[in-house]
Amino acid sequence: MSLSIGIVGLPNVGKSTLFNALTKAQNAESANYAFCTIEPNKAVVPVPDPRIDVLAELVNPQRVQYSTVDFVDIAGLVAGASKGEGLGNKFLGNIRETQAILHVVRCFDNDDVIHVSNSVDPIRDIDVIETELILADVQVLENRLERMEKMLKGDKTLAPKIEAAKALVEHMNEGQPASTFDKEMKGLDELLAELRLITAKNVIYCANVDDEGVMEDNEYVKLVRALAEERGAEFVKISAKMEEELLGLDDEEAQEFLDSFGIEESGLHQIIRTGFKSLGLISYFTAGVKEVRAWTIHDGDKAPQAAGVIHTDFERGFIRAEVVGYDQYVEHGSESKCRTAGVLRVEGKEYVMKDGDVVHFLFNV
């Protein structure tokens, strides 16, 4: 399992600059005009986790594998995108498969950087994007509803899904995203799983600021932060330009650069950490001479489910898990020493995994 994040926003708000910086890959052209990104950009980014580095130093494996995040950046959306305006509507299917949405909003004034609406207004900009996403989802939902109603005579089990679809269409036509709909309605879970509606996904509001905005929240940032809090959504503040300037610096130089602005962590770290939090994800580790690796699971997953992330056979033939906490592993220095010290535990099928567990699974198929 990997975390996947779709990046959306108006044209020319810094999405492609941010994408370049986050992925350390200059494959998303960045220019001062709308629609500079005309193809969906995708990248797989390793999740920075110092725990992996420490484990690798102790074990000295043949290779190290970090957890990953898939970033998908599409062309900027504009008003009317759901009716074919602009280019971003062509690529909405690319972000339907993602787990979370990073909504980038411009939160700085600069006469040299054009705005598609000729003025900076983050709340208006957010409303434009969210309206287009809702309208796009409604089209998908109505098409699915029409097909289900034609099939109803031959398949009465579709009735709950049809009722859920009708109610959801009504809800969204009032300008409300799918995420705010009654989640207890019968048939809804199956419907959402099939359609993967964009507005049903977790949203992270990302305020893109200039150097001054990094040091202190400006009025634009305060508005976006308040909106995120009101909606119970996650919020990050980054400077896409600053993130781009970090490219080419080693870890020590990058941290010195961030420290000079009073920033504790890079935008990449913030977004990934926030993404994990919003989706309820945690990491566990496997550590052996062949490989030290991080695996992403849902908080609350039991040992067999966690084993299944490695391979479905591991879950199907799960026998037990040998587990030690990360801190204890580092304290003792190896699996064998943890075993000798009595801190390595044997856990069964009902064990609930914890973030940072170092695990060896035993299975039989």
Q: Please state the residue numbers annotated as binding site.
A: 12-17
Can you give the length of the chain in residues?
Answer: 365
Pairing of strands 100-106, 291-298: unpaired
Q: How far apart are CA 296 and CA 299, in angstroms?
A: 9
Judged on CB neighbours under 10 Å (0-12, 13-18, 19+), 344 is buried
| Residue 84: count of CB within 10 angstroms of its CB | 9
Q: Which residues contact 146 (CB under 8 A, 6 or more apart)?
A: none
User: Phi and psi dihedrals of 108, rounded to 5?
Assistant: -155, 155
- Amino acid identity for residue 50 in this structure: P
- H-run or E-run covering 304: helix 303-310
DSSP string, 123-153: HHHHHHHHHHHHHHHHHHHHHHHHHHHHHGG
Residue stretches of the annotated binding site for ATP: 12-17
Instruction: Classify the C-alpha dihedral 115-117-118-119 as positive or negative.
Output: negative
Tell me how far apart the 2 most distant CA atoms of the chain are, in Å. 68
Query: The tokens of 12 are what?
Result: 């020319």
Q: How far apart are CA 243 and CA 250, in angstroms?
A: 13
DSSP string, 163-193: HHHHHHHHHHHTT--GGGS-TTSTTHHHHHH
- H-run or E-run covering 320: strand 318-324
- Tracing tokens 């992270």 back to the chain, one arrives at 204
- Tracing tokens 């190290």 back to the chain, one arrives at 64
Q: How far apart are CA 68 and CA 44, in angstroms?
A: 6
